[in-house]
């Protein structure tokens, strides 16, 4: 059977959501009799520790070609995020290496999963000045791919414009949960009044701490579970509430917690919800997401239907409404769950 080689920035034990995403896809292929998954890892500090993964020994023109394990019959699946491959988010070396790879192995199909495209910001930030180069590199790499996938409709529109002359159309698949899935979990009305949040995110959203206090005062959870890193979360944000800080946990342990919690606090930009692994984890476990942001949402999500808005929590007084929100979120996720996402990549990377 042919193999699909994932090109990723990092793999465990280094933290990398993109690497975890690729691993989840391979795991799904194994359980469904799909293609064999292997990995090429570009991190200069990652050390090989598994038989199906190898590092790129350098970053130059020949990097991918010389590390390629078996050109005949295999496919390349590039997981792209500029900052994963270059400090300034514009991996020119990767573009050159991919061009050389395509020249040496023209029959090898290349699929690009574009997790992120480019940064932007005001003129006072480096992102403003680097954005044109990042856009050029991203567009150029996308034109070297036979198939394109991304996690946001807006990203797909941009990629389609860059490839209009080729007639290329990007597939849109919001991210899967890296913390597993539990479609059969009990509905929120039958769960304890507990709220889960990932510790690093609450303070990253403007006004996020104030919104968190507002949510906790409204929901009055019996317990707040803070997952992962919590050093950026001030103690004052949780004052007066019973709190359990878990630190880092294996995905299986996080999945167990999410399957029991009623609410999940979500502080994320409304235009980027398709790439939120936290939202994916919540709706994949029947948790009711409580959204800290304001404004219209993306990817077909609607406040009050798939999520609750932090400034309108009237639905918490109605168990049937809570269950309906969780059910709608689960139905939205089911359209791009791990099984469907893995099946799409298996189809796009077929070599027969």
pLDDT in tens, 75-94: 999 999 999 999 999 999 99
Mean pLDDT calculated for residue range 249-269:
94
At residue 71, the pLDDT reads 57
CA distance 109 to 63: 18
Q: For the chain, where are the alpha helices, taking DSSP H only?
A: 17-32, 63-67, 82-85, 92-104, 126-142, 153-162, 208-219, 251-258, 277-283, 319-334, 338-348
Tell me which of 26-30, 129-133, 215-219, 312-316 is least confident. Answer: 312-316
Beta bridge mates, 266: 291
Query: Which band of pLDDT confidence, cut at 50, 70 and 90, is reported for residue 316?
Result: confident
Q: Across all residues in the chain, what is the average pLDDT?
A: 91
Chain segment 149-170, per-residue pLDDT in tens: 999 999 999 999 999 988 889 9
CA distance 216 to 219: 5
Chain segment 211-255, per-residue pLDDT in tens: 888 899 999 999 999 998 877 777 777 888 999 999 889 999 999
Query: Which band of pLDDT confidence, cut at 50, 70 and 90, is reported for residue 206?
Result: low
Sheet of 36-41: strand order equals: 53-55, 36-41, 3-8, 75-80, 110-114, 147-150, 171-172
Chain segment 95-132, per-residue pLDDT in tens: 999 999 999 999 999 999 999 999 877 777 777 778 99
At residue 50, the pLDDT reads 80
CA distance 85 to 44: 10
At residue 84, the pLDDT reads 94
Q: What share of the chain is helix, strand, coil (3-state, %, to 5)?
A: 40, 20, 40
Exposure b/e, 129-160, CB count within 10 A at least 16 = b:
ebbeebbebbbbbbbebbbbbbbbeebbebbb
Domain 188-334 homologous superfamily, CATH: Glycogen Phosphorylase B; (3.40.50.2000)
CA distance 314 to 10: 43
Query: Which band of pLDDT confidence, cut at 50, 70 and 90, is reported for residue 315?
Result: confident
At residue 209, the pLDDT reads 77
Q: Look up the CATH number of domain 3-173+337-348.
A: 3.40.50.2000
Q: In the chain, which residues fall in CATH 3.40.50.2000?
A: 3-173+337-348, 188-334
CA distance 122 to 124: 5
Q: Which two tokens stand for residue 167?
A: 């007639």
Which pTM value belongs to this model?
0.93
At residue 123, the pLDDT reads 74
- Its sign, for the CA torsion 253, 259, 262, 265, is positive
């Amino acid at each position: 059977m042919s193999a699909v080689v994932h090109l990723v920035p990092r793999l465990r034990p280094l933290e990398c959501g993109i690497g975890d995403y690729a691993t989840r896809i391979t795991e799904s292929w194994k359980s469904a009799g799909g293609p064999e998954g292997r990995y090429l890892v570009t991190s200069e500090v990652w050390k090989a520790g598994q038989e199906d993964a190898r590092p790129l020994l350098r970053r130059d023109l020949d990097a991918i070609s010389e590390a390629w394990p078996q050109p005949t019959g295999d496919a390349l699946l590039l997981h792209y995020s500029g900052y994963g491959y270059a400090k300034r988010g514009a991996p020119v070396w990767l573009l050159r290496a991919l061009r050389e790879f395509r020249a040496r192995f023209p029959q090898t199909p290349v699929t690009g999963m574009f997790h992120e495209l480019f940064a932007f910001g005001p003129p006072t930030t480096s992102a403003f000045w680097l954005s044109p180069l990042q856009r050029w590199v991203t567009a150029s790499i996308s034109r070297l791919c036979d198939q394109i996938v991304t996690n946001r409709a807006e990203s797909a529109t941009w990629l389609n414009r860059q490839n209009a002359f080729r007639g290329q159309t990007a597939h849109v698949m919001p991210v899967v949960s890296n913390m597993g899935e539990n479609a059969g979990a009990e509905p929120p009305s039958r769960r304890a009044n507990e709220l889960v949040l990932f510790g690093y995110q609450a303070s990253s959203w403007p006004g996020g701490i104030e919104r968190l206090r507002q949510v906790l005062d409204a929901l009055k959870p019996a317990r707040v579970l803070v997952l992962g890193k919590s050093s950026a979360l001030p103690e004052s944000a949780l004052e007066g509430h019973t709190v359990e800080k878990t630190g880092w946990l294996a995905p299986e342990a996080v999945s167990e917690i999410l399957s029991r919690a009623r609410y999940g606090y979500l502080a994320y930009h409304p235009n980027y919800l398709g790439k939120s692994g936290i939202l994916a984890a919540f709706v994949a476990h029947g948790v009711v997401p409580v959204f800290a942001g304001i404004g219209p949402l993306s990817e077909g999500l609607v406040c009050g239907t798939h999520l609750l808005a932090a400034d309108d929590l009237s639905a918490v007084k109605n168990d049937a409404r809570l269950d309906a929100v969780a059910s709608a979120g689960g139905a939205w996720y089911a359209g791009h769950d791990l099984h469907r996402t893995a099946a799409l990549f298996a189809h796009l990377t077929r070599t027969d």
